[in-house]
């Protein structure tokens, strides 16, 4: 067996740790969008494959027998390429996909299908907005330059922000509830824009918003092709042919 883990998420890192610990052969692939890469025990590669055909070529060249798509739930392009490449090469594919956050009692969500809809859902009058959406999606918010934006990235942005009033926090999660509550209170946050990524690492900001009664513009996940999926590391390890005691 020789697995390819398409990673970049906290769940992917935990899976890579488990695979390395059990001595399974695997390669961990980073998309390359983040400069501050987390340390890995597995052999790694960084960067794109050149679309579905490039990924298929890589699978053949490297003798990959299993592919685990543990990318971010919003990395739709990579997930679609994985489905196509695995179909073309006859390689088994499993998605490690955390469940989306359910709307709970007390949540004040405005649910939208995409980033453009999130921009349109912001109020017309000036407000303090926490953008929790990743670097690659902020350009669209230049259409609402009247707001004061707080952003949080793993890496500093490469280019100037597309609005005049923006403050960047450089930090890597997971983030605790108490810290998120303090961030929102100290900065006077009035609105939050978030993607429904699911999992525990980013949940605290949603819980803090509920505690403070703040509106959350929640961007829904993109549609993806049908594929086998698992929500736990134990399921993926079993699929890889290894029974192990994992609490996740």
> Which residue is it, tokens 């609402």?
144
Task: Determine the average pLDDT of the residues in 121-125.
Answer: 97
Q: Write the pLDDT tens digit of every residue in 41-58.
A: 899 998 889 999 999 999
Q: Which residues of 32-66 are buried (b: 16+ CB within 10 A; e: fewer)?
A: ebbeeeeebebeeeeeebeebeebbbbbeeeebeb
Class of domain 3-98+223-239: alpha beta
Q: Write the pLDDT tens digit of every residue in 225-240.
A: 999 999 999 999 999 9
Q: Write the pLDDT tens digit of every residue in 186-220.
A: 999 999 999 999 988 789 999 999 999 999 999 99
Report residue 85 as tokens. 């490449």
Q: Where are the alpha helices (DSSP H) in 72-195?
A: 76-89, 115-121, 177-186
Report residue 41 as tokens. 């025990």
Task: Determine the average pLDDT of the residues in 123-144.
Answer: 93
Length of the chain, please?
248
| Domain 3-98+223-239 identical in fold to domain 108-219 | yes
On average, the pLDDT of the chain sits at: 91
Element (H, E) at 14: helix 10-21
The DSSP-derived string for 84-103 is HHHHHHT--EEEE-PPPPPP
Give me the pLDDT at residue 245, please.
46
- Taking the alpha carbons of 188, 190, 195, 201 in that order, is the dihedral positive or negative? positive
Give me the pLDDT at residue 247, please.
42
The model carries a pTM of 0.85
Tell me if the domain spanning 108-219 has CATH number 3.40.50.720.
yes
Using CA atoms, how far apart are residues 248 and 227, in angstroms rounded to an integer? 21
Report residue 183 as tokens. 């961030």
How far, CA to CA in Å, does 112 sit from each of 50, 149, 169, 208? 31, 19, 25, 20
> Which residue is it, tokens 């490469």?
158
| Model confidence at 136: pLDDT above 50 | yes
- What ranges do the domains of the chain cover? 3-98+223-239, 108-219
Give me the pLDDT at residue 248, please.
40
Q: What are phi and psi of 44, to 5 degrees?
A: -125, 160
Using omega within 30 degrees of 0 as the cis cutoff, is the peptide bond preceding 5 cis?
A: no
| Model confidence at 165: pLDDT above 60 | yes
Report residue 182 as tokens. 């303090």
């Amino acid at each position: 067996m020789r697995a390819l883990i398409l990673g970049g998420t906290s769940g992917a890192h935990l899976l890579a740790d488990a695979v390395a610990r059990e001595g399974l052969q695997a390669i961990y692939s980073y998309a390359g969008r983040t400069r501050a890469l987390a340390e890995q025990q597995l052999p790694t590669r960084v960067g794109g494959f050149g679309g579905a055909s490039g990924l298929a070529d890589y699978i053949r060249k490297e003798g990959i027998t299993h592919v685990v798509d543990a990318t971010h739930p919003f990395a739709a392009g990579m997930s679609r390429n994985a489905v196509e490449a695995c179909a073309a090469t006859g390689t088994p594919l499993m998605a490690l996909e955390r469940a989306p956050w359910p709307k709970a009692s007390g949540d004040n969500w405005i649910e939208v299908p995409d980033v453009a809809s999130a921009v349109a859902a912001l109020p017309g009058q000036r407000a303090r907005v926490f953008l929790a959406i990743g670097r690659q999606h902020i350009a669209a918010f230049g259409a609402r330059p009247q707001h004061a934006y707080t952003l949080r990235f793993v890496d500093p942005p490469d280019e100037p922000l597309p609005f005049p009033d923006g403050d960047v926090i450089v930090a890597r999660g997971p983030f605790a509830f108490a810290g998120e509550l303090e961030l929102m209170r100290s900065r006077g946050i009035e609105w939050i824009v978030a993607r429904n990524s699911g999992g525990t690492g980013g949940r605290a900001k949603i819980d803090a918003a509920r505690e403070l009664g703040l509106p959350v513009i929640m961007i829904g996940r993109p549609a993806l092709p049908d594929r086998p999926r698992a929500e736990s590391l134990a399921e993926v390890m079993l699929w890889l042919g290894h029974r192990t005691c994992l609490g996740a």
